[in-house]
Amino acid sequence: MTTPTRPRTRMIAALFALALALIGLQAPSRAAADIPAGYYDPADGLTGTALKSALHDIIDDHTQISYDEVWDALQETDQDPANSNNVIEIYSGTSIPKSEHGGDQGDWNREHVWAKSHGDFGTATGPGTDVHHLRPADVGVNSVRSNKDFDDGGSAVDGAPDNFTDEDSYEPSDEWKGDVARMILYMDVRYAGDDSYPDLEVNDQVDNGSAPNIGRISVLLQWNELDPPSSFEQTRNDVIYDNWQHNRNPFIDHPEYADAIYGS
């Protein structure tokens, strides 16, 4: 896969980061999330498969919602902090009225960041409705992303600045890379095949088709480092825990768990 040359100067990046910081959305924040006391105690001191297993046991017994309820959940979890009538779309970063959801061009719809065809779980209650990896997305951009794996490189995506895609992978812009990585790792830990759901596993491949896999893990680990959890992402995690599923994404609360489980 070849990454095209593209003019991302330091000055442009700095100005973009400053703009995001001013609206308090995607600029990285070091503020602690509202983690319940003792929530991660069973994971203390663990690494590798032992840590992954402990985290699974912490987050697996969550409240499940229907696919219809996802519309309401996303209007709360992804609310624009600058405009309570809007949600923020993943990939494009666009603020759009909550009411403009559906299947028409210009609407926002429900993007499965872990593509639902990877494991063939569809929109059934469980992985198909888990809000930790469901996000508002522009209908057109969602269609371009389709069910592709994640990797660097490709051609520019219309309607989503600094996003790139090719025939088998998708690269979000820098301010969404960490969000995507942590959602994918959450799904890998949460859905381990010990219930009626598929055993989802990240790997280091693209073009995974309908297998219960998504890649590339080496790139996702880099994205997790590049783009630490923002205040928007942390608040979203709190809202899902408090108001909807009553479980958390461990990789938002502890990004270091990614390397502790999967290696650096």
**pLDDT band, residue 31 (cuts 50/70/90):** very low
**pLDDT band, residue 32 (cuts 50/70/90):** low
**pLDDT band, residue 34 (cuts 50/70/90):** confident
**Domain limits for position 178:** 45-262
Residue 258 lies in a domain: yes
Residue 61 lies in a domain: yes
pLDDT > 70? residue 25: no
**Closest by Cα among 143, 152, 139, 148 to 167:** 148
pLDDT > 70? residue 13: no
| Tens-place pLDDT, residues 134-177 | 999 999 999 999 999 999 999 999 999 999 999 999 999 999 99
**pLDDT band, residue 196 (cuts 50/70/90):** confident
The CB density around residue 158, as the number of other CB atoms within 10 Å, is: 12
Residue 101 lies in a domain: yes
pLDDT > 70? residue 190: yes
Looking at residue 167, its pLDDT comes to 96
Give the burial class of 228: count Cβ atoms within 10 A of its Cβ; 0-12 exposed, 13-18 middle, 19 or more buried: middle
d(Cα 233, Cα 254) in Å, to the nearest integer?
13
pLDDT > 50? residue 27: no
Q: List alpha helices for 195-263, DSSP H.
A: 217-226, 231-239, 250-253, 257-262
Residue 26 lies in a domain: no
Residue 187 lies in a domain: yes
> Where is pLDDT greater, at 95 or 15?
95
pLDDT > 50? residue 221: yes
| Cα-based torsion angle of the residue sequence 234, 66, 185, 122 in order, rounded to the nearest 10 degrees | -150
**Structural domain total, the chain:** 1
**pLDDT band, residue 29 (cuts 50/70/90):** very low
Residue 74 lies in a domain: yes
Residue 33 lies in a domain: no
Q: Which residue has the tokens 């700095």?
A: 14
Average pLDDT over the chain, rounded to an integer: 90
Q: Looking at residues 82-107, what average pLDDT do you find?
A: 97
Residue 125 lies in a domain: yes
Looking at residue 3, its pLDDT comes to 40
At 67 the three-state DSSP class reads helix
pLDDT > 90? residue 11: no
Looking at residue 195, its pLDDT comes to 85
Alpha carbons within 13 angstroms on the beta-carbon side of residue 129 total 18
- What percentage of the chain carries pLDDT values higher than 90? 85
Length of the chain: 264
- State how beta strands 108-112 and 95-97 pair: unpaired
pTM of the model: 0.88
- What percentage of the chain carries pLDDT values higher than 70? 88
